[in-house]
Homo-oligomer: A and B are copies of this chain.
Amino acid sequence: AYLKSIIQTIEYFIVENEKSARKNLSMFIGQDFSESRHYAVLDEHTSLESIPELLKPLQTGTTAGILSEAGLPCVADPGSALIALAHKENITVVPHPGPSSLFMALSASGLNGQRFMFDGYIPIEHEQRNKRLKYLEQLSLKERMSIGFIETPYRNQKLFDVIKAILRPETQLCIASGLMTPDEFIATKPIKVWKQTNYSFSKTPAVFILQA
């Protein structure tokens, strides 16, 4: 109810996908509301040069909201460049609480939640990926922190195989897949135990978290 009253004050929505944003706002608030608002798209293809244009309505006092398709805007999701410019222009920024699979995974991992890092997407290219994984393992050891990263769902199995092949047997790995779905699976085990565990990824999104 609180979030609903906040959303009703918003005139202009900056969204990843206009169609699904309109649909969700219709369902959450109502079709009249959804149809009477303005929309602009900000996604991973938005160029830095077009950010000032998106911000323009806010400079004349319009209240805008950023909506993500899934996850928290600006955290492993588009939006940061726009917010950075808003701060520069002294426009008030207000975050609203929402679930994020990264932090749900971290809280359920049993790994270090006092000091952690999220590394975004792991490189695709074979050598770079191996180098990055080994570097993250060393960094985790040095800083005594957990380190999370993600991969495109159809590459998860491959990444998991590489992780098992190159990380140290005693390094802990959490796999959190299908969070908040009926197929939710979360387990933390040392690499040596994962090697003996018959786990295959489905095509659901997953978060990997390691701690050396």
Which of A's residues lie within 8 Å of B, judged by CB?
72-77, 79-87, 92-100, 103-120, 145, 174, 179-180, 184, 186-189
Contacts and interface: CB of A to CB of B under 8 A. Distances in A.
B107 A73 contact: yes
A98 to B, nearest CB: 7
B83 A110 contact: yes
Contacts of A116: 75, 117-118
7 contacts: A72-B103, A75-B116, A77-B113, A80-B110, A80-B111, A80-B114, A97-B100
A26 B39 CA distance: 42
Contact of A110 (B93, B94, B110, B180): B93
B74 A86 contact: no
A94 B188 contact: no
Contact of A95 (B73, B75, B76, B105): B105
A104 B93 CA distance: 11
A103 B80 contact: no
A92 to B, nearest CB: 8
A174 B80 CA distance: 13
B103 A189 contact: no
**Which 5 pairs between the two chains have the least Cβ-Cβ distance?**
A97-B99, A84-B110, A83-B110, A95-B108, A95-B104
Contacts of A74: 106-110, 113
A182 to B, nearest CB: 12
A114 B118 CA distance: 7
Given A114-B120, A115-B118, A109 B94 contact: no
Contacts of A103: 72, 75, 100, 103
- Count chain B CB atoms within 10 A of each CB in A85, A97, A187 and give the residue with the most: A97
A115 B120 contact: yes
A116 B148 CA distance: 10
- Count chain B CB atoms within 10 A of each CB in A93, A98, A145 and give the residue with the most: A93
Contacts of A189: 87
A93 B76 contact: no
